[in-house]
Copies of this chain bind each other. A is one copy, B any other.
């Protein structure tokens, strides 16, 4: 087991009127412009039972070198701007920030 970076995980339900495509474009731009973001992936639930996903539809996961890089990202002006637009588009959110514990690396 190894600790591999620091993760910023965001699980959301967007408002019905939200322009999700624009949010996604904004996120792509954001992560491409901020070097602290080492990797970024996301997905839209297609399989979970409604009861288990509890209305949440999208997950966003950003990885940073360490907690300091994440903290620096949160105060980056581009992130601050984006967060305001993002917050306006969401109905529900859960946010977790944690050092990654890698049990089974994808290279195995």
Task: Give the B-binding residues of A (Cβ under 8 A).
Answer: 1, 4, 7, 9, 11, 27-28, 31-32, 37-49, 52-54, 56-59, 61, 63, 67, 70-71, 93-106, 108
Contact = CB atoms under 8 A, between A and B. Distances in A.
A103 B57 CA distance: 18
Given A52-B93, A63-B106, 9 more contacts: A4-B41, A7-B59, A28-B103, A39-B104, A41-B103, A46-B97, A47-B98, A53-B94, A94-B94
Report which residue of A28, A56, A101, A108 has the largest number of chain B beta carbons within 10 angstroms of its beta carbon: A101
Majority secondary structure, A binding face = strand
A94 B41 contact: no
Nearest to A4: B41
